[in-house]
């Protein structure tokens, strides 16, 4: 699951850079930024729950 989240973050960063560099694709930068934040939030929620289940 962590690998999937990292892959998605990398894809969103790449889309954000492309959207920022190519004039007229600023919307792509905005969409990539929003998806990046959503992915980080979901990853944090899943990671937080997963670490809470470990008991010794």
pLDDT (tens, 9 = 90+) of the chain, 56 residues, equals 678 878 888 888 888 888 878 877 778 878 888 888 888 888 888 776 766 555 55
5 CB-near residues (< 8 Å, 6+ apart): 39, 42, 43, 46
Backbone φ and ψ of 24, nearest 5°: 95, -5
As a whole number of angstroms, the distance between CA 34 and CA 16 comes to 10
E strand or H helix at 47, and its extent?
Answer: helix 26-52
Q: What is the pTM of this model?
A: 0.60
As a whole number of angstroms, the distance between CA 13 and CA 44 comes to 18
């Amino acid at each position: 699951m962590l690998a999937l989240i990292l892959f998605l973050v990398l894809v969103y960063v790449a889309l954000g850079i492309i959207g920022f560099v190519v004039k007229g694709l600023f919307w792509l930068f905005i969409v990539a930024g929003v998806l990046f934040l959503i992915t980080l939030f979901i990853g944090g929620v899943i990671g937080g729950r997963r670490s809470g289940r470990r008991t010794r």
